[in-house]
Structure 1
Amino acid sequence: MADYSKPGNQAESPSHTVEVTATNGDSHGAATDEAVSQGLHQLEARKVHWYSYLTTPDFWIVLLIGQVLALCITATNTFSSLLVNYGTSVPAFQTLFNYILLALIYLTYTLYKYGFKKFGKILLYDGWRYFIFSFLDVEGNYFTVLAYRDTNILSAQLINFWAIVVVVIASFILLRVRYKIFQILGILICCGGMGILLASDHIQGSNGGQGQNMLRGDLFALLGATLYGLTNTFEEWFVSKRPMYEVLAFVGLFGMCINGVQAAIFDRQSFRDATWNGDVIGYIVGYTLALTLFYSIVPFLLRIASAAFFNISLLTGNFWGTIIGIHVFGYAIHFLYPIAFVLIILGLMVYFLAGSMLGESKKPWLGDNQEAGVAGFGTAKLKALNEVRKQGLAPENAV
């Protein structure tokens, strides 16, 4: 990605004002780096216990955000199920409006912040990266929705575990993330909780019945989970280096184009065969709003925590889906569900045991002093700057 944050590039940097990485001359950049280095050292030098991070506001914020995202995903799955019940299955078309809404909100704001010249420069140098990222995201959505058409819910949920494996492997290889023993243990505990949820579904016979083509559906789910895992890893890299509104602007722009072409090619027959009435339109609107909210919140979690934590947080979605299912589809809750939910939350807490006060906000690919990162909400760079500011130690010209 082109570096718009080098010292002396204040006039060219598109990331000043709200989320600042630009500097105003070498002395300005050096002062900022020194302030960040000092703040990071102070935060990491604090005496911590194995449970220290769990007592910080950051942990409870990231835990809450994870559950909000799980509820958003549950909402999109619920609306998708209601659409299928009406005989309306247009996977590309129903997601298109999400990308349109993202473009309307974030592309408009980005153009307002940058102007067309700066935006065009980013598009020229980094557009291909954003295009690949958007393509993976669009196809992940598409194949996951297709999977639920052909296979049952139980099989699709089991295969979605693969997304966690993909994130861990991709983060280890591409982002140089090194997982601690408690992080691995936390992931395993969460997976155990999800296993209990799936077992209770099987006991109750509420795993969605048989699809039209189980093998094809399972392969679609596997492909969708792989694409999701890669997308989450790449998005964590993007939002740690660039303003979040910029990332979402390009996701909306390219996603709208890619998804639009795909819908025009693959959803024409399904569109003609679908049922269209007021309820169906309402479900698509609900799906779009829930998904757009999901996309808007994800970058915050990826900055404060990580793509791995994000994916294991979504495992609680099955529990929230059952709660909604009780009221919408008439499901009966099994006694194992509360146990599984508590187990998953426990796994999320174990994930952060014996960590630093920065949690996972300090990213290894941004440098020791996070010099390659943006000083935006949730980042270790901003936390370090705020730490020295509280003590009155930050130089006047520090960002």
Structure 2
Amino acid sequence: MSSSWWRKNEGLSKIFLELGLGQLVSFDLAIMQFTSSLAATQVDAPLTLSLSTYLLLAVVYGSIMLYRRQKLLVPWYWYVLLAFVDVHGNYLGNVLSYSCLGLVLLSDAGVGGGGGSKPILGDFLVIAGSFFYAMSNVGEEFCVKKKDRIEVIAMIGLFGMLVTVAEIPVLERKTLESMNWSTGLISAYAGYAVSSFLFYTIVPFVLQISGTTLFNLSLLTSDMWAVAVRTFIYKQKVDWLYYLAFVLVVLGIFIYSKTEKDADSNSVLEEASHSPEYCLIDEENSSPGNEFLTSPRN
């Protein structure tokens, strides 16, 4: 009964699949932000943090590429550009995650506070990070829809690793020299590496089936998931409006997805009705010799 209902409502089931995967990515992003903030409390080295992710991606998906022994479907220099914007989007995101999550927690606890010491610089970093993320998402969506998903992830991992290795000695050398590796720091790095590996693994699939717009809309709930994670770990209280906001955001994403699917279906039908094959069949059915095809039997 339930399986037949899902088959009859294939469009609706696809929407639920997209919503579920979108929220899975959003929750995983919240875990990434949480683990990166834990690492930032002990050492400020966002590039080194991202290096663990790119290294894991290069090893796992690069091994699959070597096993396939196939040529690249996209020129390597495009992957260098894609990896560059991805690395710097992650860099700015990791720099801002600690301070942004701290402000979220302060607002949840009802603690007042002034603005940042450099609000203009903070706004610029947010805009720059959003720009890099947007470029990365659009480029990744194009590659996974037109080419091979495994290749895209492997090349982002490989060239992302090379970009971070080239920039770490310039930006984080002094920080690494004074770094004290503790159990908590290693755990934070490991948690970030695993969660970000899952993020990069799931995101291309989500982009392939839903697109960049719906993907970015799904990420609107990541801050709410971050608050839920903090609440679960630190037993902090959250105002009920957060739950209401979460429901409203998910409902809005559902309405957008449903409207988009209906618009796509209508456009497909309209294109089909104007196709030469459809017009030819319509002319044949309306010809004088074919009245019996459409007239009812006596």
Q: TM-score range by the shorter chain?
A: 0.7 to 0.9
Alignment counterpart, residue 256 of structure 2, candidates 351, 359, 380: 351
Alignment counterpart, residue 80 of structure 2, candidates 116, 131, 135: 131
Query: Aligned partner of 2:81: which letter?
Result: I
Alignment counterpart, residue 106 of structure 1, candidates 61, 64, 78: 61
When structure 1 is superposed on structure 2, of 275-284 and 203-212 the one drifting more is 203-212
Aligned residue for 1:339, secondary structure, equals helix
Aligned residues: 262
How far, CA to CA, are the matches of 1:218 and 1:153 in structure 2? 16
1:84: which partner in 2?
Answer: 40
Would the aligned equivalents of 1:152 and 1:210 in 2 still touch at CA under 8 Å? Answer: no
Alignment counterpart, residue 328 of structure 1, candidates 233, 258, 261: 233
How far, CA to CA, are the matches of 1:251 and 1:281 in structure 2? 24
Instruction: Give CA deviations for 1:207-265 in whole Å, capped at 9, x if unaligned.
Output: 99755643323321211111101110111100001111011111011001001111221
Q: Percent identity?
A: 28
How far, CA to CA, are the matches of 2:169 and 2:131 in structure 1? 25
How far, CA to CA, are the matches of 1:217 and 1:354 in structure 2? 36
1:244: which partner in 2?
Answer: 149
1:318: which partner in 2?
Answer: 223
How far, CA to CA, are the matches of 1:263 and 1:204 in structure 2? 36
Q: Report the TM-score, using the length of structure 2 for normalisation.
A: 0.79
Is 2:26 the partner of 1:70?
A: yes
Q: Report the alpha carbon displacement of residue 154 of structure 1 after superposing the two structures with TM.
A: 8.1
1:145: which partner in 2?
Answer: 94
1:227: which partner in 2?
Answer: 132
Instruction: Give CA deviations for 1:346-384 in whole Å, capped at 9, x if unaligned.
Output: 111111233447969x9xxxxx99xxxxxxxxxxxxxxx
Aligned residue for 2:75, secondary structure, equals helix
How far, CA to CA, are the matches of 2:203 and 2:100 in structure 1? 27
How far, CA to CA, are the matches of 1:226 and 1:339 in structure 2? 29
Q: Report the TM-score, using the length of structure 1 for normalisation.
A: 0.60
Query: Aligned partner of 1:99: which letter?
Result: Y
Q: Report the alpha carbon displacement of residue 273 of structure 1 after superposing the two structures with TM.
A: 3.6
Aligned residue for 1:222, secondary structure, equals helix
Would the aligned equivalents of 1:152 and 1:208 in 2 still touch at CA under 8 Å? Answer: no
Q: Report the alpha carbon displacement of residue 110 of structure 1 after superposing the two structures with TM.
A: 1.1
Q: Judging changes above 3 Å, is the alpha-carbon distance between structure 1 residues 55 and 335 closer, same or farther for their aligned structure 2 residues?
A: same
Would the aligned equivalents of 1:72 and 1:293 in 2 still touch at CA under 8 Å? Answer: yes
1:389: which partner in 2?
Answer: none
Would the aligned equivalents of 1:352 and 1:359 in 2 still touch at CA under 8 Å? Answer: no
Gaps (5+ residues) in structure 2?
Answer: 1-7, 273-298
Superposition pairs of residues 250-329 of structure 1, within 5 angstroms: 250-329=155-234
Q: Judging changes above 3 Å, is the alpha-carbon distance between structure 1 residues 203 and 90 closer, same or farther for their aligned structure 2 residues?
A: closer
Is 2:13 the partner of 1:57?
A: yes
Would the aligned equivalents of 1:110 and 1:245 in 2 still touch at CA under 8 Å? Answer: yes
Gaps (5+ residues) in structure 1?
Answer: 1-51, 156-197, 363-367, 370-399
Query: Aligned partner of 1:222: which letter?
Result: I
Q: Report the alpha carbon displacement of residue 141 of structure 1 after superposing the two structures with TM.
A: 0.5
Q: Judging changes above 3 Å, is the alpha-carbon distance between structure 1 residues 308 and 254 closer, same or farther for their aligned structure 2 residues?
A: same
